[in-house]
């Protein structure tokens, strides 16, 4: 994984190849583990819990753009639910 936790990939693919990528992502969401690897750069994600799901589409003449964004917080990044409370009357 890169030092800054980023992974980026861009290429031109046919519909069948993109379908296979989407199927791999679908399986990763089901299994709770998605590993992305390209040119020696790798990142592992563990999706779970509630996630933010966004879809945006832009069509301008012959140009089309579909963006799907999924985001979530790692459970280990959440502060533990500990602490004290004082209740008085």
Under the banding of pLDDT at 50, 70 and 90, the label for residue 83 is: confident
- pLDDT above 90 as % of the chain: 70
Q: Which of 5-14, 20-29, 40-49, 71-80 has the lowest mean pLDDT?
A: 71-80
pLDDT of residue 74: 87
Nearest in space to 35 (alpha carbons), one of 27, 45, 23: 45
Lowest-pLDDT choice from 4-8, 15-19, 56-60:
4-8
Tell me the average pLDDT across 76-85: 66
When the pLDDT of each residue in the chain is averaged and rounded to a whole number, the result is: 88
Please tell me the distance from the alpha carbon of residue 66 to that of residue 40, in angstroms, as a whole number: 28
Which residue's structure tokens are 């945006």? 56
């Amino acid at each position: 994984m890169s030092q800054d936790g980023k992974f980026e990939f861009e290429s031109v693919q046919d519909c069948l190849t993109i379908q296979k990528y989407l199927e791999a992502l679908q399986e990763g969401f089901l299994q709770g583990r998605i590993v992305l690897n390209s040119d020696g750069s790798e990142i592992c994600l563990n999706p779970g819990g509630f996630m933010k799901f966004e879809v945006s589409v832009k069509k301008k003449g012959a140009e089309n753009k579909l963006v799907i964004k999924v985001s979530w917080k790692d459970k280990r990044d959440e502060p533990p639910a500990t602490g004290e409370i004082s209740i008085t009357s």
